[in-house]
Amino acid sequence: MRRLFGSVRARATLAATLVVAVALVAAGTAVLLSLRSNLLGEAGTQAERSARAVASELAAGTPYDKLTLDDDDRPVQVVDEDGRLVAASEDLERISGTGVGAVTPRPEAAGRGDDEDDDSGEELEPGEIGELTTVGDGSATIDGDPADYRFVEVPVQTPDRGTLTVYAGAPLSAEHGAVRTALTVMLIGFPLLLAVVAVVTWLVTRRALRPVEGIRREMAEITRSEDLARRVPVPDTHDEVARLALTTNETLAALETSVERQRRFVADASHELRSPIASLRTQLEVGAAHPELLDLDGAVEDTVRLQRLAADLLLLARLDAGERPADARVDLAALAREEAGVRAGVRVRTEEGVAVAGSRGQLERVLANLLDNAQRHARSVVEVSVRREGAWAVVGVADDGEGVPVAERERIFERFVRLDAARSRDDGGAGLGLAIARDVAVRHGGTLTVRDAPAGGALFELRLPGSR
């Protein structure tokens, strides 16, 4: 049961059925109440018409035994001021709801004459029929046939018999029959309608969720096979399900790219680490066997290169993990002067007060990598500039080398990429410096691009959001 109602289709069907059921019950109740009210009103109108017809005869002085009281299905009583029955319908055997239970007239008790006060609430003139009526429900038995009635009470002032009260009833059998018929139709029709609603909702929901089930099955297959090149089917509906499929495929594509990048990174890192480790091991093994042949400087150089490579890999791992930079204020002009001061042949042009918010260590690493790259390519001079352009802090590192071909200007920012011998493993470069520089720039909300320098060579331009 929990599994059944754990599905969206079942919950949607149940919810739709419940909503329709509540609406049907409310509508059915309103219809029954309205029908009953209208039929009761119609019965009251008929009873009042009968009562006023008899009252008109009484106002005209018609004797009791001459009154028109022979309507078989409408009981009528005429009561005098003393509450005594003076006229009644023929074959009336029992009555209730009029306040007078007598069914046998006593004409001899004709009342007190026209000098008595009228207690009906109206001051009536002789021959006048009261406008105010009283309505109530009751029952009566006429010629052995019991039934429910709506009774109306109408007062009339007669010229010689005082104030008389006429009670007339209209049968409620039509009202009862109509209400019972309507209720029967509802009791039969509502369940059938709810069944139709449930079936239609179930089928429509199944059709609407069929693409979702296809997406789920494909995702399960992708998870089982670990084949991130597969994609989920996109329905041709242009609705939320189609957008879900497109977003899922975009996520799978990003995940595939990330996993492939991670695989290449691990493979390249293993390759890069293998060389210095193998070289260092060879030198140590030779030194252990022949101490006099130990190349201590080479071992130290390999160790330093291995240390730098490990540091680069660790920084890249932290960047890939989404490590957020510190929110410290960094003076780019001072940082550029510090980095240029420890290198020969580097000129600096800076504006004062150019600062950004970020990690001083990571930004220092970016400048160091850009300067190392420029010095490897420069023929004679490297120039560093720091300036402010609107809301941006801009750092430019230019060399007078041969520059970077247009087709390679994005590729050089990929990891473990070397374009020429100047960036070879023997020079100490592993092809990670520019990749690290761009990743740090992006993490700081900036960009790192390369273009031709005004004096020839390459110009690397770092743009970061400025800070006051």
Letter for the amino acid at 312? D
User: 425 falls in which pLDDT band (50, 70, 90)?
Assistant: very low
pLDDT tens digits for range 193-221:
999 999 998 888 888 888 888 888 888 88
Per-residue pLDDT, 116: 44
| DSSP-derived pairing of the beta strands 382-389 and 346-350 | parallel
Beta bridge partners of 358: 328
For the entire predicted model, the pTM comes to 0.52
pLDDT tens digits for range 451-467:
999 878 899 999 999 88
pLDDT tens digits for range 69-111:
876 678 998 998 888 899 888 888 898 888 888 888 876 544 4
With b meaning 16 or more CB within 10 Å and e meaning fewer, what string describes 366-382?
bbbbbbbbbbbbbeeeb
The dihedral region occupied by 415, where left means phi > 0, alpha psi between -120 and 50, and beta the remainder, is: beta
pLDDT tens digits for range 24-58:
999 999 999 998 889 888 988 888 888 888 889 88
pLDDT tens digits for range 268-309:
777 777 777 887 788 788 878 878 777 777 778 778 778 877
Domains parsed from the chain with CATH numbers: 1-221 (no CATH), 240-320 (1.10.287.130), 328-467 (3.30.565.10)
For residues 210 and 10, the answer to whether their CB atoms sit within 8 Å is no
* Residue 117 DSSP class: P
Per-residue pLDDT, 112: 43
- Between CA 436 and CA 366 the distance in angstroms is 7
Per-residue pLDDT, 9: 79
